[in-house]
Amino acid sequence: MPTVLRIRQLRIAIYLNDHGPPHVHVIGKNCHAKIKFGGAGEKPSIVENNGLREKEPALALEMIESEQWLLRRRWREIHGG
């Protein structure tokens, strides 16, 4: 699972053997979230949150939105399409 970005104590990864729709995994100490990329005109959204606390979800969403071009490119490099 390549780590694509780091935000403070969280890392954003794309699993090699994952499935669509395009998304990333936000991993921290004892926590994990799955965030899908937004479609045309949409913002990223949390699909699953297992333990991200306080400001972490908003921080992750903000970073994923601002770096969406990079994350989409990495998703295509790993999964094609």
CA distance 57 to 49: 8
| 24 CB neighbour count, 10 Å cutoff | 27
Instruction: Name the pTM for this structure.
Output: 0.91
Confidence label for 81 from pLDDT (cuts 50, 70 and 90): confident
- Report the pLDDT value the prediction gives residue 45, as an integer from 0 to 100: 96
What is the per-residue pLDDT across 16-58, written as a single tens digit (0 to 9) for each?
Answer: 999 989 999 999 999 999 999 988 788 999 999 999 998 999 9
Helices marked H in the chain: 56-66, 68-79
CA distance 37 to 9: 21
CA distance 58 to 62: 6
